[in-house]
Chains A and B, each alone.
Chain A
């Protein structure tokens, strides 16, 4: 069984991103050590790609070829010495020559590091030769390719860092085709591109007929995984949005100004829900929180830099901040002072199916009573909800295009910001309209995990509630089954909307689906 697993060695000059390539292919930031220094990897490290639990491809990370010029000279010298002997000890072919070299004392001494790589190449089906495309084609590269060619294994050059401005992609392609290497893959370990990965596998397939099925399985599995990843991300975002949209604090209002602790409680509940979502998204995309300082993502220490309820956060997304009235203590929140919130969902409510009427009657009836008793509902305003959505979408889009070895700063916040500071607020767009599902969620306080059981239970709203998101109250009372399934239905349709949004931003990556 193991014999059928496609064996792949990843080789290349030192510090060209071999370990980074493996990290990205494995989606595992913990594999090996990555640093912008020479000879970080000292040993051959192996890993297997599994499909449905079965190994499909075994990958080996190797130490860099450092002194490749001398290495080639050494092997040339060995060949020359064999030629002069004129007896049976002449090397039958290049592979025999390399084997002889690996058996020599040089292979454990001066060229120990290079020998590890070569030894691994001799054991695999194909070698991926990783190239830092920002470098010119130099003698050392030609020497390395010549040495690899002698190993008698197919070699697929992989151009890394092609997304860099300094990348010399076409020059490299020319040079490589002169050397007879036409199946060149382009793959940026920093800016991940699903299509690039697929093409890499396809390039390998052209050279490895015997393993075509395994590679096809892998390509298909990667497609599926990516679709699942997008759906799963959308699911997390949809859950967050429904929770936030339905989050409500019933406040007692005497002078049109809700108590500070109510405002703080609602904000902190929504903030921590967002943080939980961010944590989950990072975990889902397999970025460890400690990996993502601002160098990595639009996040800072795994958190959004700007507070959700600050005008700065709005500006970052290029949106106009709310009206002056809302910019003060109540920024990002709204106090529902229309009769029982009918204004909010009147359209949804009236258009709803007959089955929904009962629920709306109940909800609005209760609100009406609350209003008469001098209580109102404090909730996030539409702009804040859209901001919440936009921020997570931005994060997901950034995550989808990040390799698992990236070490440089992502400019997303800057790009959005750079042109803006001098502009006046008027030139910013207003936040887009709330999706229908969220307008619906507004009407259902019971849908939000951020509301404590007291708010969810329609029979008792007299208490202030400052429940926190950490302790999710268990579903209680009859009717939970109905509530849960209605909520889930809304979440599911929202997931479709959000997933479409994500896919729209990545047409290239999804083009083959």
Chain B
């Protein structure tokens, strides 16, 4: 099993070789500068709303191997803007270096100045040696302690590296001043961002500050050397509250360091004699002065300069480490958007079956291998009782079928090829021909060639064509939607056609949701002989065969309603409602349904504003008249009927007769007229049993009435071409079972419309046979 099959065709290997791009030689680790460039590109992109033309860079970056970060860096480096950004980055780096150097020189000068000032502290031409040391080391020691605290304790204000941010900001400001390229803004922003992220900025700032203090100490030591070489100073010390012993100990202690590196330092006696006021005899000798000078210089060197140099080296080292550890912030949205385009976690390798013969593309050749067919074509035999067989039905319970001329024979369920052969043999060997043979399949199954093969096998075992009943439509619709159901029905019809069944032998009836009407229709279909069926209907009438046909627009109309509802923040004005209805009418324009609707309502083109008002009233009345009693009992439906009639007819008229717009009074007038119609219909229904509902209606300040009116209007258009009684009964069957739920949110509207559509489907399939003939008649009349 582990052995690789030897039939792997050469092209697969060949193709993989070709499609795997050679990874770039520079697969080596990406450095901080590369990442900084990527950040600069990101900053540049965030400042310019137009995206960079980066197709080439993307292609190259996506092609090779590498992690997302490597790809991002690679893309950044390949962009055309990269060169300019790189130059700006270098320029900014130069500016920073220059600024640091200037600061270092200033620091050194400051150190020299401090040394000069320090030596000048003291009385009567003497120098107070401890005050001088304090001036030179005091401030920097204090700042050192604070720095140490910041690094060790990491207070919250420094956590995000604000210090580094400040430094970067200052230098960035400098860079902007010095280099006025358009890219420098992006570069500064990127550097600020990088330096204030993580601890790079902290260590950079530390290194700079230690470096400056080191320069300060260098300046101080140099100035001390110059001044102490060229001038004669007398060193003293004095105290008020401390004991002389303390000073002796302190001086000796501090002097230990300088003594260790060979500098002369004062001994105990010399220290004692340097206390102010000085005894005049013996005056301080040159060795004594040299000892104090050596002590002072040594202290500044050892306790100022050397530690700063060490810290500088340390901070610099930490800074470099943090630079190499820096990673791009991949969760920034700019990088997130790149992520998908950079093709990080998968790639398509395309068609892999190119070795298959070219003709294999088309429809599979139907072998119809009759050779292995065990079922012999049946001889003529007298018709017998009807028989049914279930084909791969989802549940194994026996379907309930309407009685026809004789009781049904249950031939069982076909689940496998073996079952199919067995049943086909049994069918062929029966004394009486099953009349008809009904094959029941579920719409929840996908039709395929295997099914077609079985249908053919069953078909060969009887002389007349078997009937194919597609059940389970409702379940399939709830699983997906009605459009998918229509598609599924069409697929089954195609498969049935391939298996040699003509269109009239196939019908979609949901056996789980049979009504009296659909049961009657099913019985008629099953009872008619195949010959009769094929001559009378001829398979041309798709529309009536299973309700929803190709010309159906209701889904689109309800989509229009939903779309408008989404934009409503308050009950819509008349104008908005008219626009919506007009859009719905537009959907049906090709079927001439709008014209038919106007004709059926007995309307003529209005010439004046008064005509329009009259037309509205008449249309409202007519549509209300179409409503079945079960609906007219509800004040809400009466109102919806009036609206559907008035506004619907107005919208239709505007569509059909362009002249109407001229005759149209102001929208406010139309609105008032329609409100008047509502009042009229309401008062006329005051005697209706549900008065309390009318009160209710006032509270229902929602979008329900316009939506119901629109749905009613769409159904009306859908039903055009049928006679008035059919329309009325279909409206009854469609809207009566749908509860009057409050329609106050888009989902609730959607649910309600789904419900309406569902019941409309059922209503249509129940009346399909009648409606089919009437539709043809009406079409002929019109």
A residues sitting closer than 8 Å to B (CB atoms) are 1-3, 13-15, 26-28, 31, 36-39, 42-55, 58, 60, 64, 66-70, 72-74, 77, 95, 99, 102, 106, 108-113, 115-116, 119-120, 122-123, 134-136, 138-140, 142-143, 152-154, 164, 166, 210, 221, 225, 228, 231-232, 235-236, 239, 280, 283-284, 286, 294-295, 300, 305-307, 310, 312, 315-316, 353, 355-356, 407-409, 413-414, 417, 421-422, 470-472, 474-475, 478-482, 484-486, 488-489, 492, 495
Contact of A482 among B166, B367, B747 (CB under 8 A): B166
- When chains A and B are docked, how far (Å) is the Cα of A154 from the Cα of B2? 10
Interface with A: B75-83, B352-360, B656-664, which one? B352-360
A-B contact pairs, 9 of them (CB 8 A): A38-B446, A48-B349, A49-B346, A54-B65, A67-B448, A67-B453, A70-B453, A139-B415, A478-B170
Contact of B46 among A116, A122, A231, A472 (CB under 8 A): A472
Contact of A306 among B352, B416, B746 (CB under 8 A): B746
Known pairs A45-B352, A123-B5, A421-B745 / 5 extra A-B pairs, C-beta < 8 Å: A49-B345, A143-B417, A231-B331, A421-B744, A472-B46
Interface size on B, residues (CB 8 A): 111
Contact of A235 among B333, B481, B491 (CB under 8 A): B333
Q: Is the CB of B345 within 8 A of A50?
A: yes
Q: Is B397 an interface residue (CB 8 A)?
A: no
Q: Is the CB of A108 within 8 A of B356?
A: yes
Q: Is B67 an interface residue (CB 8 A)?
A: yes
Contact of A353 among B155, B192, B348, B395 (CB under 8 A): B155
Q: Is the CB of A69 within 8 A of B454?
A: yes
Q: Is B351 an interface residue (CB 8 A)?
A: yes
Closest to B442 in A: A135
Q: Is the CB of A414 within 8 A of B417?
A: no
A268–chain B nearest beta-carbon distance, Å: 15
Quick one: given A69-B453, A407-B480, A413-B747, are A14 and B47 in contact (CB under 8 Å)?
A: no
Q: Is the CB of A69 within 8 A of B351?
A: no
Quick one: given A66-B450, A67-B448, A414-B751, are A48 and B480 in contact (CB under 8 Å)?
A: no
Quick one: given A421-B742, A481-B168, A485-B161, are A228 and B49 in contact (CB under 8 Å)?
A: no
A-side contacts of B361, CB under 8 Å: 42
Q: Is the CB of A37 within 8 A of B446?
A: yes
B432–chain A nearest beta-carbon distance, Å: 28
- When chains A and B are docked, how far (Å) is the Cα of A113 from the Cα of B362? 10
Closest to B414 in A: A139
Quick one: given A37-B487, A139-B418, A421-B742, are A112 and B333 in contact (CB under 8 Å)?
A: no
B-side contacts of A134, CB under 8 Å: 394, 444
A330–chain B nearest beta-carbon distance, Å: 14
Closest to A472 in B: B46
User: Binary interface profile of B, 9-25, with partner A (CB < 8 Å = 1, else 0)?
Assistant: 00011001100100100
Contact of B364 among A58, A112, A239 (CB under 8 A): A112
Q: Is B479 an interface residue (CB 8 A)?
A: yes
- When chains A and B are docked, how far (Å) is the Cα of A511 from the Cα of B139? 55
Interface with A: B277-285, B336-344, B539-547, which one? B336-344
Quick one: given A353-B156, A484-B193, are A46 and B349 in contact (CB under 8 Å)?
A: yes
Closest to A25 in B: B346
Contact of A46 among B20, B47, B350 (CB under 8 A): B350
Contact of B484 among A36, A102, A112 (CB under 8 A): A36
User: Binary interface profile of B, 53-87, with partner A (CB < 8 Å = 1, else 0)?
Assistant: 00000000000111100110000000000000000
B-side contacts of A1, CB under 8 Å: 20
Q: Is the CB of A225 within 8 A of B345?
A: yes
Q: Is the CB of B491 within 8 A of A37?
A: yes
Quick one: given A113-B364, A116-B356, A139-B415, are A66 and B449 in contact (CB under 8 Å)?
A: yes
Q: Is the CB of A474 within 8 A of B189?
A: yes
A-side contacts of B23, CB under 8 Å: 53
- When chains A and B are docked, how far (Å) is the Cα of A143 from the Cα of B448? 15
Q: Is B392 an interface residue (CB 8 A)?
A: yes
Quick one: given A310-B569, A421-B744, A472-B46, are A50 and B346 in contact (CB under 8 Å)?
A: yes
B-side contacts of A115, CB under 8 Å: 356
The 8 closest A-B pairs by CB, nearest first: A139-B416, A481-B169, A53-B65, A110-B367, A69-B417, A481-B165, A46-B349, A112-B360
- When chains A and B are docked, how far (Å) is the Cα of A26 from the Cα of B366? 35
A-side contacts of B536, CB under 8 Å: none
Quick one: given A140-B450, A484-B196, A489-B159, are A110 and B364 in contact (CB under 8 Å)?
A: yes
- When chains A and B are docked, how far (Å) is the Cα of A165 from the Cα of B23? 48
